[in-house]
Amino acid sequence: MASQSRCRWTAMRCREAAFQRFLGVDSDEAAAARVRELCEIGSRAELDRDADAHARWDERIRRAYLNYQKQHPTNHQ
């Protein structure tokens, strides 16, 4: 993650079935929309340039997804 932008990491995850299950959606488009909703942003690009969006993403997406993976170890790729 350190060498990747938050936007790129999120875009890649949105294509993954496990991430979509985590978000409760069934497509990459729906996953992207859910991320924007949860992070209160209009575009995933804001994750890389807005400190408040980054903080929301870190709590609501990245950390929550890591916890989800720990709780559901067979539910990710």
- pLDDT tens profile 3-56: 579 999 999 999 999 999 999 999 999 999 999 999 999 999 999 999 999 999
Residue 1 lies in a domain: no
Range of the domain at 40: 6-70
Cβ atoms of 18 and 12 closer than 8 Å: no
40-44, 62-66, 73-77: segment of lowest average pLDDT: 73-77
Residue 77 lies in a domain: no
Residue 22 lies in a domain: yes
Burial of 31 (0-12, 13-18, 19+ CB in 10 A): buried
Domain count of the chain?
Answer: 1
Global pTM? 0.87
Residue 11 lies in a domain: yes
